[in-house]
Structure 1
Amino acid sequence: MTRHEVDVVVVGGGGMGSAAAWRLAGRGADVVLLERFEPGHVRGASHGASRIFRVSYTEPVYIRLAQEAERSWRELEAAAGVSLLTVTGGIDHGRTDGLGVLAEALEAAGAPGEWLAPQEAAERWPGLRYDGKVLFHPASGRLHADDALSALQAQAARLGAVVRHETPVTSIVVRGDDAVEVRAGEDVYQAKRVVVAAGAWTRKLLGGLVPLPPLRVTQEQPAYFAPLREMAWPSFVHHLDGESPAATGFPSGVYGLGTPGEGIKTGFHGTGPVVDPDDRDFQPEPAQLRILREYARAWLPGVDADAFTPISCTYTTTPTADFVLDRVGPVVVAAGFSGHGFKFVPAVGRILADLALTDARPDVRFALRRPAGA
């Protein structure tokens, strides 16, 4: 058995854990990042060629966080010398009053959108069919997830962090308010803090240590559809609620974006079956794919609904779809990113570093124990 003494152990080398290691190392902390799988693995929620970046939220806390993340993505790009965030513009459309609320929130945050007539939107982006109102937000775009992870870990290492892959953590034991022991095989790490950003494995590692909310792990079934020709694609969200005639037969709203070299990534949100992350089959789910292809035929005239590549990924979702970013004693928790977290990665890394190194407390929305009515 080998013992190590460090300031902070980060458990989980996905987006959030890698960003935490980057920010912690940048503040001079002695940090080690432990990831159970090999580099570039596809078992978690941070792999692949694309994620949507957008600031279009109705809640001010998420708009502010996205605005911070945009600045931080550019900071990371400059440090790493790579391009990660491509601005394509983004749209929200649908027959829902929620679009008006969204527009008001963006206006109040100093990031106003622009209303477009469906015909005007179709002239700009003919690959989509538009449902009712169309709200355009020019700052939205696409992140390259795999390259982002590589950049975060490389910059963390450049700043002094130790990054270890294929190193599964088997136990976390709290020894005091400023003392925690993390075991990984024959190595035991003694630290002041542990940051647990383990995605679908959060409850398995932390059950009983901190008061976690229910975390629902699902295997989602998006797909890449082949475009019929070269054309511009915005990132898009189609809001399908129960009052919209377009919602008939579809289990949720739909998101999508163009992904160079892959196709047009499209998916329903949070509708997959519950799974154990250690017992996934990664196989396409026929019913979900059938319905997704029906959606593509109806609403994506720019793709071939019969030419597609299935994608398998996980969501770890809280009851409110809000994140958990909090600390109990020496244990910092990052969990429940609910299928919409990746855009915020570098900003979340800053929050996790604050929680680990200071007396900062999270926004009440992200607390483990939210006050009633929050």
Structure 2
Amino acid sequence: MYDLCVVGAGLIGSAAARHASLQPNIRVCLVGPDEPKERSMESPREIFASHYDESRVTRRSDPDPIWATLAQKAMDRYRDLEATSGVNFYSETGCMMAGPPEGQFVTNTRETVTSQNTQHDYLTPELLRQSFPHLNLPDEDVAIYETKNAGYINPRSLITAQKRIARDNGCDVINDIVCEISQHHSGAPLMSLLTESGQKIEARRVLIATGSFTNFRKLLPPGQEPDLKLLPVAYAKVEVSAEDAKRMGNMPSMLYRGGGAPHWPKDYPRLPNNLFGVYLLPPIKYPDGKFYIKSGNLHGPDSPQVSTVAEVKAWFCTKGVTPLATKLASMVTAVTKGIQTLSYHGDHCIIADTPTRYPYIDLVHPDLGVAIGGNSISAKSSDEIGRIAAMLVLYRKWDSELPAEAFKLKLKDTSKSKL
């Protein structure tokens, strides 16, 4: 019998399990599948995750002060997490948010870093060109540049660190997929979980952190389906030489939102108002020993959606040199100067978007909670999201300076689909 069972062993779930394991006299288990050795349509496996990668942008600033606060709380614990686990996952390369000075992205980010006293430099067009001569940005653009306490994290390694500490604190980590959760009463209420392998788990309380796959298994009470949009997004990894990687050694992580430059590819996927939404990471050495610049497009409210587990699986299992990967790779050569592309390939992930634009961290009933809906930017903040969720489910109290109302669970209106 567990006091808390966390379902979903990704970034948020593993963080929640670690924080719960730190509580005195609390017995915790974390249930979720390990990363598969391969992803193929022929495999019977249907459950995947978006953290199968070596890099995610991390920064303390954001155009939205709530997301900025979540990031700051989580990032304050990065180095302690590394020291305690013995796993390095954080590279402090800095991060730059660039775009036209009058654009909403730069304007809102500047307001946030100013109001929250986030250490940063404001780069005018001239300073931007002087600081990063290897970048090929529009002449009139500016940037908010976090020189410290920003960069990128390795999501695989972050999960390893969270699990290692949780295990050391007595948490049972179970490599399985939960297919059904129910509640029954034999005196006190009890949560029962059934896994795909047939294992039965009992716990007093359950936290669901299953991301894009939440609605594809019987995890929530009948008729309660979280309002999530599942957005298929792609990214490209462009291989560069060790020499080019060294030459670009001061390159920070970068996010761009704006009109772009005349030489940028015309067929690149655009945001509303024909804006470019691009992110780039500095050259990173991957497990294959090669250096890659990772790039992808920022999504918008009108991005295409998927709605079935078959569609999600097909998207996760599509990799390689696709037409979309070619477009994304072309942006790397457009934004950088003098970089020789040795090879490139693409990969896919799924974003679970909420109508509130914040993750759902809420109680479905007193013994069942959720922490879902990453909205594409939760990786860096996952430790704080997991902490808030774990404390909420364990103690039924909101433990954050941020307003609980912002994270309330929204359910789909299923009546419309029946008309």
Whether the TM-score (by the shorter chain) exceeds 0.5 is yes
Provide Cα deviations, 1:21-41, integer angstroms capped at 9, x if missing partner: 111111132111111345778
1:159 and 2:173 correspond: no
- Cα distance 1:133–1:211, how it changes in 2: closer, same or farther (>3 A)? farther
Go from structure 1 to structure 2 and tell me whether the alpha carbon gap of 1:272 and 1:115 turns closer, same or farther (over 3 Å shift).
same
| Residue in structure 1 matched with residue 331 of structure 2 by the alignment | 295
Residue aligned with 1:214, SS: coil
Q: Deviations over 1:188-216 (max 9, x none)?
A: 22212111111221112335557444322
Contact 1:65/1:347 (8 A) holds in 2:
yes
1:82 Cα shift? Answer: 2.8
Please tell me whether residue 8 in structure 1 is matched to residue 33 in structure 2: no
Residue 184 (structure 2) pairs with residue 147 (structure 1)? no
Query: Please, which moves more after superposition, 53-62 or 113-122?
Result: 113-122
CA distance in 1, matches of 2:224, 2:114: 37
CA distance in 2, matches of 1:191, 1:64: 32
Cα deviation, residue 313, structure 1: 2.0
Displacement of 1:295: 2.1
What CA distance in whole angstroms lies between the structure 1 residues aligned with 2:57 and 2:35?
25
Aligned residue number for residue 391 of structure 2? 354
Q: Distance in 2 between matches of 1:48 and 1:141?
A: 15
Query: What is the CA-CA distance between 1:284 and the residue it aligns to?
Result: 4.4
Q: Counterpart amino acid of 1:348? A: I
* 8 Å contact from structure 2 (residues 321, 344) kept in 1: no
Select which of 270, 275, 278 maps to 1:254: 278
Which of 265, 280, 294 aligns to 1:265? It is: 294
The aligned residue for residue 191 of structure 1 is 203
Pairwise CA distance, 1:20: 0.8
Equivalent residue, structure 2, for 1:325: 361
- Count of equivalent residues: 364
- Could you give the per-residue CA deviations for residues 326-355 of structure 1, whole angstroms, max 9, x where no partner exists? 112111111110211110121112111111
Q: Percent identity?
A: 24
Question: Residue by residue, what CA displacement relative to the aligned partner does 1:210-266 show, whole Å, maximum 9, x if unpaired?
Answer: 74443222332101113361222101001036x997796432401111223341110
Distance in structure 1 (CA, Å) of the matches to 2:333 and 2:119: 32
Residue 65 of structure 2 is matched in structure 1 by 60
- 2:361 and 2:222 map into 1 onto residues whose CA distance is 15
TM-score, normalised by the number of residues in structure 2: 0.79
TM-superposition CA deviations, 1:58-79 (whole Å, max 9, x none) = 2222211111111121221121
The answer as to whether partners of 1:173 and 1:182 remain within 8 angstroms in 2 is yes
Quote the residue 1:170 is aligned against. 179
- Answer yes or no: is the 8 Å Cα contact 1:196–1:334 preserved in 2: yes
Q: What pairs with 1:68-79 in structure 2 (closer than 5 Å)? A: 68-79=73-84
Which amino acid is the alignment partner of residue 175 of structure 1?
A: H
1:48 is displaced (CA, Å) by: 1.2
Counterpart position of 1:217: 230
The aligned counterpart of 1:340 is 377
Of 281-290 and 332-341, more deviation after overlay is shown by 281-290
Comparing 134-143 with 287-296, greater Cα deviation is found at 287-296
Change (3 A) 1:54 1:212: farther
For 1:108, the equivalent position in structure 2 comes to 115
Q: Which residue of 2 aligns with 1:135?
A: 144
Distance 1:81 1:306, change over 3 A: closer
- Is the 2:70–2:384 contact (alpha carbons within 8 Å) kept by the matching residues of 1? yes
Counterpart amino acid of 1:274?
V
Aligned pair in 2 of structure 1 residues 47, 41: CA closer, same or farther (>3 Å)?
Answer: farther
Equivalent residues of 1:221, 1:272 under 8 A apart: no
Question: 2:236 touches 2:329 (CA, 8 Å); kept in 1?
Answer: no
Query: Which 5+ residue runs of structure 2 have no aligned equivalent?
Result: 40-47, 272-276, 412-419
Q: Distance in 2 between matches of 1:40 and 1:335?
A: 25
Query: Which amino acid letter does the alignment assign opposite residue 16 of structure 1?
Result: I
Contact residue 356 and residue 406 of structure 2 kept, 8 A: no
Q: Which amino acid is the alignment partner of residue 164 of structure 1?
A: I
CA distance in 1, matches of 2:153, 2:31: 24
TM-score, normalisation: structure 1: 0.88
Q: Which runs of 5+ in 1 are unaligned?
A: none
Does the CA-based 8 Å contact 2:92-2:151 persist in structure 1? yes
Given that 1:325 and 1:368 are in contact with CA atoms closer than 8 Å, whether structure 2 keeps it comes out as: yes
Which amino acid counterpart does residue 257 of structure 2 have in structure 1? H
Judge conservation of contact 2:240–2:342 (CA < 8 Å) in 1.
no
Give yes or no for the alignment of 1:118 onto 2:154: no
Alpha-carbon contact 1:195-1:334 (below 8 Å) kept: yes
For residue 335 of structure 1, what is the amino acid of its counterpart? I
One-letter code of the match for 1:122?
A: R
SS in 1 for 2:53: coil
Determine the C-alpha separation between the residues in 1 that align with 2:75 and 2:375: 20
